[in-house]
Amino acid sequence: MNGILLIDKPAGWTSFDVIGKLRGILHMKRLGHAGTLDPMATGVLPVFVGYATKACGILPDDTKAYSAGFRLGLTSDTQDNTGEILETHDFAGVTEAQIRELLAGMTGEIEQIPPMYSAVKVDGKKLYELARQGKTVERQARRVRIDALKLTAFDPVTGEGVLDITCGSGTYVRTILHDLGQTLGCGAVMTHLRRTVSNGFAIDRCVTLETVQTLAEEDRVGEVLIPIGEVFASLPQIRLSEKQTALYRNGVKLGLSYLKGQITQAERYAVYGKPFGFLGTAVTDREQGVLRIERNLCEPVNQEVNT
């Protein structure tokens, strides 16, 4: 079984909890996920199954989208409402127009300081482990990408609102809301978080763990298993003949001159072969004039090749 399960992660579960549950349901160990979600968060969690796990580090689309609730007037040690409240402030006078104006200046590539309650490591130790010990350490700002920030709801009486966020991998939504509150001068904490898009997959394609359990009992998990090639649909394609496929799958570097009409100015390609379909990704080595395997994403075979 190789492919992607799109799980709608329930609240209160870590991403690793989901993997552990699926290992029990599917009776297999080779599982991995893309894009960690905090326990309080729900939504799209792509889980890679079998040889598809080899794709986790080379996904071409790192875009994430979220719906995030916030509340003004508070700051916490976790930057959300599950942590210890550190300060309270008056938010009277903050308007929707004021928030929208600030959000307009918070997009693009920015420097973001990771929160203490995060899995980022400093001197070999995870920040959340230090935070649980009551320690605060200096963190280096990291460059992240925020594509869009849209205020979809705001109540000036309660200070509660909802923000739709589109961003790149590694962006902390909690910190976006914390920074917004700091700029407003009243503080803000995140109250809920739902990921609606991850790596090109939308929430409407997700299934629950309960659904996977039921399908597994009926031996029908394949019905919701997405082919790994779909992740790489944005890449230009190379389609190999049966003979080229056998060579490629045995590690032979194919000459670019033998792939006439398929090689463009692009450096990275999705490779398809006969009769296996999607094989994996490859990159061009223009200097050597060959196609180099980047990652094989199907089960290996050892075939006899007639040359």
Q: Which residues are catalytic?
A: 38
Q: What is the DSSP letter of 113?
A: P
Rounded to 10 deg, the angle between the 15-26 and 209-217 helix axes is 10
∠ at Cα 276 (56, 240), nearest 5°?
A: 95
Within a 13 Å sphere around the CA of 2, how many CA atoms are in the beta-carbon half?
19
CA of residue 219 relative to chain centroid, distance: 28
Determine the length of the chain: 307
Find out whether the peptide bond into 275 is cis, omega within 30 degrees of 0.
yes
Q: What is the DSSP string of 231-256?
A: GGTTS-EEE--HHHHHHHHTTPPEEG
* Whole-number Å distance between alpha carbons of 103 and 100: 5
Q: What is the DSSP letter of 294?
A: E
